[in-house]
Amino acid sequence: MVPGRTLVVIALLAAAGCDGPTPTQPTPSTQPGPRPLLPVASFEVTGIVTGEGGAPLPGAVVTVAHYMGGEAVHWPTASTDASGDYRIGITASTLGNGFVARVQVAADGYEEYWRNLKVGAGTQFLENFRLYRLTRVAAGDSTVLTVPSDLGECRSWVAAVCGVVRITIPKAGRLTVEAVSDDTMTERPPLEVCCESGNEVSGNPLTVSVAPGPELELMIGLGWGVSTTRSFKVKTSFEAF
């Protein structure tokens, strides 16, 4: 399984919660045996994907990850058309807390968007998504990250909602990152990067050993209830080995 899909599986398990029977919980029984299958129903997910300016994004890939009866995760996808529209039909199990699926939207040059879907009054989900451009900074430089109020859910553990800055690494060394609110210059949100020795590193500031290669994703935790646009000054310093 590729890392991105591993992350989605973990997120699905977390989204399932503990307020009802889920595929991750043991089945009460005096004898070992297979877990019972969960009931399934048909759902339809439709909507439009736009960029930050509101223009439709053709070619964005929408994935609806869900359970269907057993423990395996299913991954139906669709690409948006010239008008940014998409439509996906799924046959999914509804878990004990109403969780139906996790939607993941990806497009070149934009941050990935995630959102959990929970069962409502019917089987039709109208889900529109707005994607925002990637924010990049070179190790040793600084940038300002503007975080809109309509972000999706965080792909990491630092908070329910988070902004993302991608840091390019020129060579092996030690990277230190800190972030403060651009409004108050005193608020320090929680930060997280992955990974050092296979583990996430949290803090503000935080320091991590890095190697040249893929960009380092810095997550800036915002929690729930982001109702206004926020800005954060992100500072990095770098010491080559």
User: If DSSP codes are grouped into helix, strand and coil, which group holds residue 133?
Assistant: strand
Per-residue pLDDT at 8? 58
Give the CA distances from residue 158 to residues 96, 118, 193, in Å, rounded to whole numbers and listed in that order.
Answer: 25, 22, 9
pLDDT score for 33: 54
Per-residue pLDDT, 13 = 54
Q: How far apart are CA 157 and CA 221, in angstroms?
A: 9
Average pLDDT over the chain, rounded to whole?
86
CA dist., res. 92 & res. 22, Å (int): 13
**Which pTM was predicted?**
0.83
- Flag residues of the chain having pLDDT under 50: 1-3, 18-31
DSSP per-residue string spanning 52-116: TTS-B-TT-EEEEEEE-SSS-EE--EEE--TTSEEEEEEEEE--TTSEEEEEEEE-TTB--EEEE
**Mind listing the pLDDT tens digit for each residue in 31-42?**
455 556 888 999
Instruction: Note the pLDDT of residue 184.
Output: 77
The token pair that represents 18 in the structure block: 């503990």
The Cα–Cα gap between 31 and 41 comes to 29
Q: Is 17 left (phi over 0), alpha (psi -120 to 50) or beta?
A: left
pLDDT number for residue 9: 55
3-state helix, strand, coil in the chain (%, to 5): 5, 45, 50
| CB burial of residue 12 (10 Å; 0-12, 13-18, 19+) | buried
Cα(240)–Cα(172) distance, integer angstroms: 6
Domains belonging to the chain, first-starting first, are 3-130 (2.60.40.1120), 136-240 (2.60.120)
| C-alpha of 216 from chain center | 15
Please tell me the predicted confidence (pLDDT) of residue 91.
95
pLDDT of residue 3: 47
User: What burial class does residue 82 get, using C-beta atoms within 10 Å of its C-beta: 0-12 exposed, 13-18 middle, 19+ buried?
Assistant: exposed
pLDDT digits (tens, 9 = 90+) for 186-221: 889 999 998 777 789 999 999 999 999 889 999 999
pLDDT at 4: 56
What's the start-to-end Cα distance of the chain, in Å?
A: 33
pLDDT at 29: 41
The residues facing 86 across adjacent strands are 47
The token pair at 10 is 């973990």
